[in-house]
Amino acid sequence: MPTPPARKFGLSNLRAARKSGEKVAMLTCYDYSTAGLMQKAGVPALLVGDSAANVVLGYDTTLPVSLPFMIEITAAVRRGAPLCLVMADMPFGSYQGSLDRGVRNVCKMVQRSGCDAVKIEAAASQLPLMRELADAGVAVIAHLGLRPQAVGILGGYRFQGRTADEAGGIVAMSMQMRDAGAAGLLLEAVPPEVSKAVVEAVEIPVIGCGAGPACDGHVFVTHDAIGLSPRSPRFVPQLGDVAGPMVNSFSDYVRRVQTRQYPAAEHCYEMPPAEKAEFLKKVERIISF
């Protein structure tokens, strides 16, 4: 069983894993308590994904989630898992449209959340932003392949790299992002042949999200793997059923309340006997008055 990290797992460790061939496990995380459990379990890297829009806030897409919300939950994850590498998603609209605005918002995320790296869904238009942030010393992970913030253009949540031209474009863009200063790549929903070509084309770490075994690390939405989502993508392993025990626990609580088993004496605070006696006399006088 993996052991909790004895020291901080950072970008240098991710780069070292890339060179050594060691595979890095990453999970999405959105809160302080879960972050602590993941660190205790030995998960070295956490992604505070904009998928919080779906699994935390209940939206159909990732688009509605805001920058202040992402900063707040990233800071919570950072506090819960100080020894993990924490990667923060930049939400839709926070880095597009203006180079100055993009740099300002990314720096705000880093300063206020304490994250180790930020992730942006990358296209050619983000190359100037990538260069500017790299020059400023910000570690940026470029997200290629299926980009949930661009589902309108991509035609839905479909895997990418279906054709030779499409796959070649992903490889070419990964090299451009590397040249612009990207600290790493995240490939989502691409065939194994595409991720293998990307890994061979660049020397920076490549994290896969449904992208095959060639990637240096792997990540997926945690809720999809532990029974907290109504359906899961095919690339997500089923690690357990957290939902079943939770429902049973909540149901048991309802039963205890309805049958008056809760609260019992052990759940109540007790006044000192002398104070209790004095209080009861006082209440009697108040009521009789």
Angle between helices 99-113 and 67-80 (to 10 degrees): 30
Find the domain containing 76 and state its range: 11-220
Give percent above pLDDT 70 in the chain.
Answer: 97
What local confidence, expressed as pLDDT, does residue 158 receive?
79
Give 3-state DSSP helix, strand, coil % of the chain, rounded to 5: 45, 10, 40
84 in a structural domain = yes
The answer to whether residue 3 sits within a structural domain is no
* 238 domain-assigned: no
Q: How many domains would you assign to the chain? A: 1
Task: Tell me which of 121, 188, 200, 266 is the catalytic residue.
Answer: 188
Partners of 141 in the beta sheet? Answer: 119, 184
Is there a domain that residue 168 lies in?
A: yes
Q: Based on the residue annotation, tell me whether 188 is a catalytic residue of this protein.
A: yes
Q: Where are the beta strands (DSSP E) in 90-139?
A: 117-121
Residue 130 pLDDT greater than 80, yes or no: yes
Q: pLDDT tens digits for 211-270?
A: 999 999 999 999 999 999 988 999 999 999 999 999 999 999 999 999 999 999 999 999
Structural domain includes residue 244: no
Asked, for residue 124, whether it belongs to a domain, the answer is: yes
pLDDT of residue 4: 73
Extract the tokens encoding 39. Answer: 């660190």
- CATH code, domain with 207: 3.20.20.60
Q: Residue 154 above 60 pLDDT?
A: no
Is the CB of residue 212 less than 8 Å from the CB of residue 191?
Answer: yes
Residue 134 lies in a domain: yes
Q: Say what the pLDDT of residue 288 is.
A: 81
Are 56 and 10 in contact by the 8 Å Cβ rule? The answer is: no
For the stretch 41-92, pLDDT in tens is 999 999 999 999 999 999 999 999 999 999 999 999 999 999 999 999 999 9
